[in-house]
């Protein structure tokens, strides 16, 4: 698997590259956004680790440009910018995930695997569309019947609750922002009111989680959105 590391702090760049190579990855690296564009345009990568505050062209602009060119390579932002606005913006412009510095290397590897798997294997929306079913542990979403089951039992979700779970299932492993969910569920003119999502999610968790306070299926990315656990 081939990864591009775009990080302007030379020491951190070296550490990440060395650890990735030790974990069996093929790695290229660069120190600024301009070089990153050149690497991505001529190379073929399974994933890109992208800092945001880069010389010449920042990471946000790099991702905007490659997405506009039709490049769907998974991009994981590595950033010290931990404001909700920055995180949401990064996801909305086409980033697949983010990690806030400092981070553990084990979590970085897990996020890389998730982003690449979601893009390259049949576990995403295409597979669900073909099979009509998403499963994760005891959770089953039956898209043909518009039903959600937990350990074989109908969870008795309302229409809106089902729509929310179904949408998260189609993008399992990926953070969906509050604004994205609201617009997908209630239309582009819907007011960005996170409270309606929180109410629906609280009800969903009571119905599908053994312990709603420690969910096993749908996770909250605080201030950003929700993420469905990856499917089996």
Give domain 125-228's CATH architecture. Answer: Orthogonal Bundle (1.10)
Q: What is the DSSP letter of 213?
A: T
Model confidence at 46, pLDDT cuts 50, 70, 90, reads: confident
DSSP alpha helix (H) spans, 23-150: 33-42, 59-68, 84-92, 105-120, 125-131
Instruction: Tell me the average pLDDT of the chain.
Output: 87
Predicted confidence at residue 6, as pLDDT, reads 97
* Beta carbons within 8 Å of 141's beta carbon, 6+ residues apart: 128, 133, 134, 135, 147, 148, 165, 166, 169
Q: How far is CA 174 from CA 38, 53, 82, 96, in A?
A: 27, 23, 18, 7
What confidence category does residue 86 fall into, taking pLDDT thresholds of 50, 70 and 90?
confident
d(C-alpha 77, C-alpha 153), whole Å: 39
Report the pLDDT value the prediction gives residue 196, as an integer from 0 to 100: 79
3-state secondary structure of 147: strand
What CA–CA distance (Å, rounded) separates 151 from 153?
A: 6
Residue 128 reports pLDDT greater than 60: no
Fold of the 2-120 domain:
Rossmann fold (3.40.50)
CA distance 176 to 172: 9
Strands (E), 101-224: 133-136, 139-142, 147-150, 153-154, 175-177, 218-221
For range 194-205, the mean pLDDT = 88
Strand order in the sheet with 225-228: 175-177, 225-228, 218-221
> What's the pLDDT tens digit per position in 158-170?
888 998 999 899 8
Transcribe 8-21 into DSSP letters.
S-HHHHHHHHHHHH
What average pLDDT does this structure show over 172-198? Answer: 80
pLDDT greater at residue 113 or residue 28: 28
> Which candidate, 112, 42, 41, places its Cα nearest to that of 75?
112
Q: Where are the domains of the chain?
A: 2-120, 125-228
Among 26, 12, 213, CA closest to 105: 12
Instruction: Confirm whether pTM is higher than 0.75.
Output: no
């Amino acid at each position: 698997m081939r990864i591009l590391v775009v990080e302007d702090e030379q020491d951190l760049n070296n550490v990440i590259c060395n650890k990735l190579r030790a974990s069996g990855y093929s790695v290229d690296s660069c120190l600024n956004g301009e070089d990153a564009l050149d690497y991505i345009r001529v190379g073929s990568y399974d994933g890109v680790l992208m800092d945001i505050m880069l010389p010449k062209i920042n990471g946000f602009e790099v991702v905007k440009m490659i997405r506009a060119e039709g490049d769907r390579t998974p991009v994981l932002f590595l950033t010290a910018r931990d404001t909700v606005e920055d995180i949401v913006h990064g996801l909305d412009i086409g980033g697949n995930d983010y990690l806030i510095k400092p981070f553990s290397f084990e979590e970085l590897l897990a996020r890389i695997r998730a982003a690449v798997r979601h893009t390259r294997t049949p576990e995403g929306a295409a597979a669900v569309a073909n099979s009509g079913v998403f499963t994760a542990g005891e959770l089953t979403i039956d898209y043909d019947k518009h039903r959600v089951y937990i350990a074989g039992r109908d969870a008795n979700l309302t229409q809106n609750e089902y729509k929310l779970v179904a949408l998260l299932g189609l993008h399992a492993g990926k953070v969906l922002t509050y604004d994205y969910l609201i617009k997908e569920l209630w239309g582009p003119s819907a007011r960005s009111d996170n409270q309606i999502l929180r109410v629906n999610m609280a009800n969903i968790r009571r119905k599908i989680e053994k312990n709603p306070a420690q969910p096993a299926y749908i996770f909250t990315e605080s201030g950003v959105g929700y993420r469905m656990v990856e499917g089996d």
